[in-house]
Structures are given as C-alpha cells and as structure tokens.
Structure 1
Amino acid sequence: METDESDRYRAPALDKGLDILELLASVDSGLTQAEIAKRLDRSPNEFYRMLDRLVKRGYVTRLDGDRYSLTLKLFGLAQLHAPVRRLASYATPLMRDLAQRSRQANHLAVFDRGAAVVIAQQEAPDYWGLSIRVGSHISLFDTGSGHVLLAFRSDEEREMMISEHVRSRKDADLGAEFYQRLNQIRERGYEMMASAQTAGVYNLSAPILGPDGRGIAALTCPYIALVNAPAAPDITQAIGMVQKTAAELSALAGATIAVQG
C-alpha cells in the first residue's frame, strides 16, 4: 500500500494541538470544548487532555469557565522571530540619529508575555540622559511605551495583553479614564506623560506600525530638560522627532515583514 509522502511522518497529537490553535485563532469570542469538537469533526473527549495541556502551557486560557480562547503567548514568541529581531537591528542607525538630533536617549520596546520589553536602546550623546538597559521589563500601565503598545492594538488584543500583565504583575484594576487615555493616544498618534518612576522626566512615545496598521513596537524618548544646552530641542520639538523616526521605522517594518511573509 502506497503512503502519501505528506503523511509519512504524521504526529497525530501535534496535529490535534495545531488544529485547536488554528481554530481558536479564527474566532473572536472563544469556543467551548463541544464547539471545538464539532468544528473539527471529532469527539469532545478527544480534546480534553490537549486543551488541558495548552492551558497549562499558557497558549490557551479559559473564559467564563467553559470557553477557550488563545492567549498572547504565541504573539510573544513571534516577537523573537526574524522580522522583529531585524527591526531592532535596522532601528539602530535611526535611533542613533534621533539621539543626536534630540540630545536625548531613546529605546525600542515590544510586548512579551505580560510586559513591555526593551529590545534596543541608544544613549544620549552628551553627559546627561536617562537610559534603560536592553532586556528590561517595564509596566504597561504607567509608562509611555506600555501605553503606546496598548493603544495601537485591537480592543480584544488589548484586553488579552492587560489580562496577561495583571496576572504577571498583580497591578490594580483599571478605570474608564485609563481606556479613554489609550483612545486619545491612538487619536493623536503619540504619548507624552510625566514619568511615574523618575521626577523631572517625560516619556515621549510613538508607535512602530506593521503593514496592517497594528502596533508592533514603541519608540520612547525619556526626555529631560537640559539646562546648560540652550540649543537643545524643547519637548515639543523632541516629540516631533520621535514621531518622525517612528514613522520611518514603521515604513521599514512594513517592508521587512512583507518580504518575510
């Protein structure tokens, strides 16, 4: 009996898990175990152990007790994929130029498993500047990078990101004002806020957008007023520079991802 070349090395358990992930990725509000089984034309009992493992490994979460939905773990893993690593590499000369023109440090952050993670940073060219080391995990709720990463995602993705962040950081509940702020950031295209961590610093943040218009990273300048540098750009000029660099990186990210996809 001849065997189809594509089925020679079948892994039924792996296929079953991938079927579940692909199905859940295609729906917005999650599915029950029975609905998953019906759509995949299988018995519900076939999926109990697989769903249990996917939940324990963090790829799937249970909503309202009996509905299953994807988490953002796959999205977090995707941040380590070549396009984003390449974005960090390609961003270096643009970030260096931004630092020179603004006289300020800057960094690039992405969302990864419940936090904003710094994947690239550029020092200020002079004596004074505030830098955040690469690999730092920072809050989504009280940083410019976190606000921008949340603002430029869909409502559903935003809620999943917040859910993962709360689960990992135990932050307080959010109010309506927080969501209004995110919507305002999206409308004006950037965040400008006093740092919640360091007095006298303002976070100037703008999004790096993918080809579909969704935020994939945040470019942030921790702005400090330079008293002994009268020619240094003021905060309004600096946010304009951050936006311009973010737009250039967005164009680059779109081209990069399009080539990879």
Structure 2
Amino acid sequence: MAGNVSTPGATVVSRALAVLYAFDNGHRRLGVAEVARRTGLPAPTVHRLLRELAAGEALTRGDDGRYVIGRRLWDVGRLAPEQTELQQVASPFLSDIHAATRATVHLAVRDGMEVLYLDRLSGRASVPVVSRPGSRLPLHATGVGKVLLAHAPEQLRDAYLAADLRTPTVHTITQPGRLRRQLAAVRREGHATTEDEMTLGACSIAVPIVRTAPGAAGGSEVVAALGIVVPTLKRERTRLLTALHVAAQGIARSLP
C-alpha cells in the first residue's frame, strides 16, 4: 500500500486510510515518524492527517504525542451488519454463561489470519486476560482462535501453519505438526483448550458456533467461537464445556 499512497496521484481518502491501517494489534500506539515509516507517506502529510483524524475522533492523541484508535472509529466498525447481528443475538447467552460461571467470556470471529474479539464479559477471578472488544490476537495461541483456525478453509490453515508463528509465552504451541494434530482433535471433539499459551496463569476452553443453512440440502458453517478463560481447567472443565455448548447451540438457533 505504501507504494501507492505515496504517489502524487493518491487521493486524500486513500492516504487517510493508509494512516488508519498503520495501526494493528502489534502497533496500537504510533507517533508521526512511526506512521510515516509504516505508510511511506511524508511526515508533514502524516502529521496533518493525524491531526484531522483526531479532530474527527477517529484517533485519540495521548499526552506523549502518540496516537491510538479512537472510540468513534470503533463504534463505526461495530455497525458492520454481520458482527452487529451476531453480537445482539449472542449477548444474552454470554450474560447467562457469565452469571453461571463468573468467568471471563469471549465471543470471537476469524478476521483473516487473526482472531477478532467482538465481545468480552470480565470474570471475577484474577486471571490475566489481554483481549478486549475489537482486539486481535493470534489464532494458534487462544482457545477461540484454535476453534476458528480448525474450521478455517484448508488452504488458509496450511498457509497459517507455514508462517512464522508468534510465541507469546514459553507454552505456546507453534510446531506445525503438533498444531495440525491439535486442530484435527478440535474438529473431532468439538472444542479447543489452551493452558498458559497466550498469557501465563490463564487457561481457556472454547467451542464453535455453527449455523446450519435452511433446507434439506443446506450445509453448516462455523460463524464464530465462544470461549471461557479461567485460572485452571482441572476442576470444572466438564461444567464449563456444558455451559458453552448449550449457549453456542442457543446462539446458532437464534441466528436468522
């Protein structure tokens, strides 16, 4: 993108989008020089665009002079029809799981090669959780991510496993062969688990939300994943898994 937006013929809109797209899960706070480097745009142009985007509340400028994505932009993103509909349908089920388990509950979808968190209800237990609504994390290091990767198209899954995978902790599974076997087990058993793979002291268990197409010839597709994060899965694994399956089935039945 940098090569296109830095040319004289690039539009103001394309340059503004390039500035916004410079922010990602690994680059949440950026200064003028960092955005200029990531977009290929001149620093004066970046400085002007950042100020205008901040004035429109698409970005927020911190006391250190660096910028972060603004709440207004997140609110606009939440208007995407599929995500809004899914969140609205899933919301009462997430609340039911949260009330029954007092654990952190996640609703997530796959966005390209990452897991995108649509909603999160925080649990009472002191568990380190790095996700938040709108954040993106590695598919292979999270429970909901493993579910979504296991049910992704085979070509995408192969490309993902061939990439240089991040290792958030020493327990993160990155070996392609081991991951492939684990993903096969996720499809076979209907759920995924992690232990200290995204953050130390946090375990997760997740299940797919499967929408079945109407009609005798209709197939099914995994549209999202539902997960719980707890300090350990040793004591209440069965109870947590049952709660997730019941909620996932309820969400699936409620989807239009």
- Which range, TM-score by smaller chain? 0.5 to 0.7
Report the AA paired with residue 253 of structure 2: A
Report the AA paired with residue 105 of structure 1: T
Change (3 A) 1:129 1:196: closer
Contact 1:92 1:122 in 2 (8 A): no
Give CA deviations for 1:63-98 in whole Å, capped at 9, x if unaligned: xxxxxxxxxxxxxxxx97523320111211110110
Matches for 1:80-229 after TM superposition, within 5 Å: 81-124=80-123, 126=124, 128=126, 131=129, 132-159=131-158, 162=160, 166=163, 170-171=164-165, 174-211=175-212, 212-225=219-232
Percent identical pairs in the alignment equals 22
- CA RMSD, 1 decimal: 2.7
Number of equivalences: 164
- Please, which runs of 5 or more residues in structure 2 have no aligned partner? 1-77, 167-173, 213-218
Match of 2:200, SS state, is coil
Contact 2:128 2:201 in 1 (8 A): no
Match for residue 48 of structure 2?
none
Contact 2:127 2:231 in 1 (8 A): yes
1:80 & 1:207 partners in 2: Cα distance? 23
Give the TM-score of the pair, scaled to structure 2: 0.57
Give the TM-score of the pair, scaled to structure 1: 0.56
Report the AA paired with residue 210 of structure 1: R
Contact 1:104 1:224 in 2 (8 A): no
Greater C-alpha Rg: 1
Match for residue 58 of structure 2?
none
Give CA deviations for 1:41-79 in whole Å, capped at 9, x if unaligned: xxxxxxxxxxxxxxxxxxxxxxxxxxxxxxxxxxxxxx9
Matches for 1:57-68 after TM superposition, within 5 Å: none
Change (3 A) 1:199 1:80: same
Change (3 A) 1:130 1:88: farther
Deviation of the 1:156 alpha carbon: 3.1
1:175 & 1:129 partners in 2: Cα distance? 28
Report the AA paired with residue 220 of structure 2: G
- Please, which runs of 5 or more residues in structure 1 have no aligned partner? 1-78, 227-232, 257-261
